[in-house]
Amino acid sequence: EVQLVESGGGLVQPGGSLRLSCAASGFTFADYAMSWVRQTPGKGLEWVSGLSGSGDSTYYADSVKGRFTISRDNFKNTLYLQMNSLGAEDTARYYCVNSGPGYCTGGSCYRRFDYWGQGALVNVSS
């Protein structure tokens, strides 16, 4: 059974930093791309960042580029999100997501968000 367990959330002051971790089990971690997706009360779900199975390729939403860093340790089966220069707009529940094997249709191939963790709550407030 696939399990994704986030940790590291909490209350942080504006301008502060936080590192989220996601412990993965139930699948061969290094074989799959992973992402972070956040949910805010006002804006719903927002993809934050993703990286390849090897960790060599990383991707970021414009809203976090330059402030957040995604990484992984394939020996520890753990995904990370280092968040710096946090602002109120970053307050959200952050989900760790397994992108699965993907699929191909219409001549193109796509990722999908197969498995989600329960999320870690990040509250940026003074």
Partner 1 sequence: QSVLTQPPSASGTPGQRVTISCSGSSFNIGSNPVNWHQHRPGAAPKLLIYADNQRLSGVRDRFSGSRSGTSVSLAISGVQSEDEAVYYCAAWDDRLNAPVFGGGTKLTVL
Residues of this chain that interact with partner 1 (CB under 8 A) are: 4, 35, 43-47, 59, 61-62, 95, 100, 103, 105-106, 108, 110-119
- Assign 80 to helix, strand or coil: strand
Give Cβ neighbours of residue 85 (< 8 Å, ≥ 6 apart): 15, 17, 67
- Residue 5, burial from CB neighbour count under 10 angstroms (0-12, 13-18, 19+): middle
**Residues 6+ positions from 107 with CB-CB distance below 8 Å:** none
CB nearer to partner 1: pick between 18 and 64: 64
CB 51 within 8 A of CB 57: yes
CB of 16 to partner 1, least distance (A): 26
Q: Is 27 or 116 the residue whose CB approaches partner 1 more closely?
A: 116
Question: Using CA atoms, how far apart are residues 10 and 33, in angstroms rounded to an integer?
Answer: 26
Q: Which is nearer to partner 1, 6 or 86 (CB)?
A: 6
CB of 77 to partner 1, least distance (A): 18
| Least spacing, CB of residue 99 vs partner 1, in Å | 10
User: Among residues 12 and 115, whose Cβ is nearest to partner 1?
Assistant: 115
State the minimum distance, in angstroms, from the CB of residue 44 to partner 1. Answer: 4
Can you tell me the distance from the alpha carbon of 48 to that of 59, in angstroms, rounded to the nearest whole number? Answer: 8
